[in-house]
Amino acid sequence: MDQELRELSREEYETSFSPPMQDVTHTAEEIVDLWPYAERALKETFSGACTCDLTVGYVYESGDGLFQHILVPSHISNVYLVVVVSKVRRAIVGHHRLDLGTLYGLHDA
């Protein structure tokens, strides 16, 4: 049975941060089966998104080692679906739409 989708509010998303967030993209181990959840969340969060070539863009781990943020690129530049995973529970907490363009002024030239 598929896990129920849970979109995290900005506040809920931010509670999974613990500085310093570490880039573990190249060393992270798979904690959960990400793709069934990520595919459904991407379709729900980004209308018109193609899920035909899903990939992990980045993986960040909280400084306290409790959470991983798995960033899946969307079809919009600098906008990601972030799947938050609890390392302790070995479970997906939920997802959040992260728009780096809006947050940090990252816009394509």
Q: Is the pLDDT of residue 7 over 60?
A: yes
What is the b/e burial string over 3-28, where b = at least 16 CB atoms within 10 angstroms of the residue's CB? eeeeebeeeebeebeeeeeeeeeeeb
Q: Is the pLDDT of residue 109 over 70?
A: no
Task: Name the residue among 56, 82, 64, 57 with its Cα closest to residue 22.
Answer: 64
Question: How large is the average pLDDT for residues 19-27?
Answer: 96
Does pTM surpass 0.85?
yes
Mean residue pLDDT of the chain comes to 90
Question: How large is the average pLDDT for residues 36-64?
Answer: 89
Q: Is the pLDDT of residue 103 over 60?
A: yes
CA 37 – CA 69 distance, rounded (Å): 14
